[in-house]
Amino acid sequence: MLVLTRRGGEGIVIGEQIVITILEVKGTQIRIGIEAPKDVSIYRKELYLDIVGANKKAVLNDRQRLETLLSGMLNKKEEAEGYEKVGKGAEKDGKAD
């Protein structure tokens, strides 16, 4: 990693199109201004890592698997709820008949 020391008002140029300016240094906080072309995305690092992590977790490459998961999921949930519904359901069904 390249390490540079800068003061408030000073800046850094990256390539031909990106300029980073240290706007203000106040205690533990530093305000930074960034000039970059529109197609360069800029993120707060913690947010970027969060999204990359979420995307990597979300990659599933088997369509069949999702179908199985979905139907399995429905059955599992219904089974779980089945127990509490048995009593109430029977009573309700009885009245309806």
- Which of 66, 85, 86, 91 is close enough to bind other proteins by CB under 8 A? 66
DSSP annotation of 28: T
CB atoms within 10 A of CB 6: 14
- By CB under 8 A, residue 51 contacts other proteins: yes
- Which of 13, 23, 25, 73 is close enough to bind other proteins by CB under 8 A? 73
- By CB under 8 A, residue 45 contacts other proteins: no
**Gap between the Cα atoms of 39 and 41, Å rounded:** 6
- By CB under 8 A, residue 25 contacts other proteins: no
- By CB under 8 A, residue 47 contacts other proteins: yes
Q: In what order do the strands lie in the sheet with 18-26?
A: 11-14, 18-26, 29-35
Nearer to other proteins, 9 or 72 (CB): 72
DSSP annotation of 41: -
Dihedral in degrees, nearest 10, Cα atoms 54, 56, 61, 66: -20
Site for other proteins, rule CB under 8 A = 38-39, 41, 43-44, 47-48, 50-61, 63, 65-67, 69-70, 72-74, 76-77
